[in-house]
Amino acid sequence: MSLDHYVTLGHSGLRVSPFTLGTMTFGEDWGWGSSPEESAKILATYLDRGGNSVDTANMYTNGHSEKIIGDYLSGRPSLRDRVVLGTKFFCNMYENDPNGGGPSRKAIVQQLENSLRRLQSDYVDIYWLHNFDPATPAEEILRTLDDLVTAGKIRYVGFSDVPAWATAEAATIARMRGWAPIITLQLQYSLLERTSEGELIPMAQAMGMGVMPWSPLHGGLLSGKYSSANTTPADTTRARPGGPTEAELVVIDAVNAIAEEIGVTSAQVALAWLQGRPGVTSTVIGSRRIDQLETNLGALEVTLDDAQRTTLDEVSAPKLNFPADNNRQLAPSLQFAGATVDGRPSLVSPLLHAADTRY
């Protein structure tokens, strides 16, 4: 597989690369990240390799990320329509302004106009709700987004970091009203954070939404810089205080062992595992240096065999919220009583057959 082996994003006609370039690292305004010059090189390398999906947000490096992208694309006007450019709204850029952020109609329109100005573009391809506000009616958010689609200022709608129940409600309202649908989700997902398998990912699969995981290396813990023999933070500007936990080190050591076994990097193993997970369409990868980008892109050429995937699945198995585990483990035996259905065998429930009698 390569970056130009495109995939369809959710129930839409939009095609994106299997890896999306995340640009939270564009700009040094937060004390870490890439200079504008290095950011432009990273963007150029990604696009030259056939990548077409670029993700940013209004608040990344205080708007500098969007400006860096805008400066790059403005000098290459023929490139803009080839790029699937997504940005996000929600985060407030203006201190003490209660309408400066969030998903109200006023805030959405203001945030989009400012993003378009920084991006130097007439439109964005995917406009993402960046987080969840329980106070703003879903109808207000969705109607505003639909109006922006009609106006040609956005092409598609995505939700990021929104609860499954709220996303499902919004998607149902949009469908019933004939408004622009939610075609894709962003969510945190990696070998060290799999709880989205409980509700978010099954919901996305059932409702025709593509999934774009973010933080696939879990803040660098799966990059290969850590092991049970080395827990010293590799980057003091961003590393978690104290380094990985004991439970995380069990997973990290398993990733490192498989990486050594097949002669690739730990980051590539973690990314290859994630890209092969059910429901995942395109994984958001971020890099501060060209060599990091090259390493991450190399994961597209890594194939894990069934035994390796099973090892990683088992060592990282999450404890999911009720009723996910109950429905996944107990329900098949209660429903099928030992029969194999859709290629999946079930157990015979001892509750139903303890006495081997029927009344």
pLDDT tens digits, 92-105? 999 999 999 999 99
Domains along the chain with CATH numbers: 7-321 (3.20.20.100)
Catalytic (active site) residue 123? no
Q: Supply the pTM of this predicted model.
A: 0.92
pLDDT at 191: 98
- Copy the structure tokens of residue 71: 């400066």
- Distance (Å, whole) CA 154 – CA 119: 13
pLDDT digits (tens, 9 = 90+) for 62-81: 999 999 999 999 999 899 99
Neighbour count for residue 137 (Cβ, 10 Å): 12
pLDDT at 235: 58
Select which of 46, 60, 156, 226 is catalytic.
60
pLDDT at 355: 52
pLDDT at 344: 82
The torsion angle over the Cα atoms of residues 148, 150, 153 and 158, rounded to 10 degrees, is 60
Q: Report CA-CA distances (Å) from 150 to 82, 303, 304, 307.
A: 21, 42, 44, 49
Q: Give mean pLDDT in consecutive 10-residue pieces for the chain, a chain of 359 residues.
A: 94 98 96 95 97 98 97 94 97 94 98 98 98 97 98 98 98 98 98 97 98 97 91 61 89 98 97 97 96 96 97 95 82 82 80 60
User: ∠ CA(114), CA(39), CA(269), 5° rounding?
Assistant: 115
Strands 210-214 and 124-129: unpaired
